């Protein structure tokens, strides 16, 4: 197994949440400076910092985090619910049988299964551990 164990997922969850918090902090500072008519170069730097953090978030989601989610849950083949149609779908219908074949955009939905957003959610709450 790659590192799809529960401890690794918790570590990735913590990293993901930390990046989101850092991004929010940068954006909040920038918005306040913009409202107050603050220094343009400082505002630009905060914008660049937020973009850098977004790239780090995307990289984490599209690589380690999504692969860890896939490898933890794929063998269990859980039933999923489409968030747009409320239809029950199989793991195979949603994500297929190969992590490498999953497009980057759909990898965000893998992470969404454990973070609470995305195209799918678990049919059974027993799969959640955060």
pLDDT at residue 2 is higher than 50: no
Containing H/E element for 89? strand 88-89
Strand ranges for 1-130 from DSSP E: 80-82, 88-89, 120-122
pLDDT value for 128: 66
pLDDT value for 21: 96
Rounded CA-CA distance 27/51 in Å is 10
Average pLDDT for residues 97-118, to the nearest whole number? 94
């Amino acid at each position: 197994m790659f590192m799809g164990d529960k401890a690794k997922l918790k570590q990735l969850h913590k990293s993901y949440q930390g990046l989101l918090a850092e991004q929010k902090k940068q954006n909040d500072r920038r918005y306040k400076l913009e409202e107050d008519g603050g220094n343009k170069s400082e505002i630009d730097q905060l914008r660049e910092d937020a973009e850098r953090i977004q790239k780090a978030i995307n990289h984490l989601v599209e690589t380690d985090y999504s692969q860890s989610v896939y490898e933890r849950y794929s063998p269990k083949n859980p039933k999923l619910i489409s968030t747009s149609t409320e239809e029950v779908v199989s793991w195979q219908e949603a994500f297929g049988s190969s992590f490498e074949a999953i497009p980057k955009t759909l990898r965000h939905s893998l992470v969404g299964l454990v973070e609470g957003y995305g195209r799918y959610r678990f049919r059974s709450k027993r799969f959640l551990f955060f």
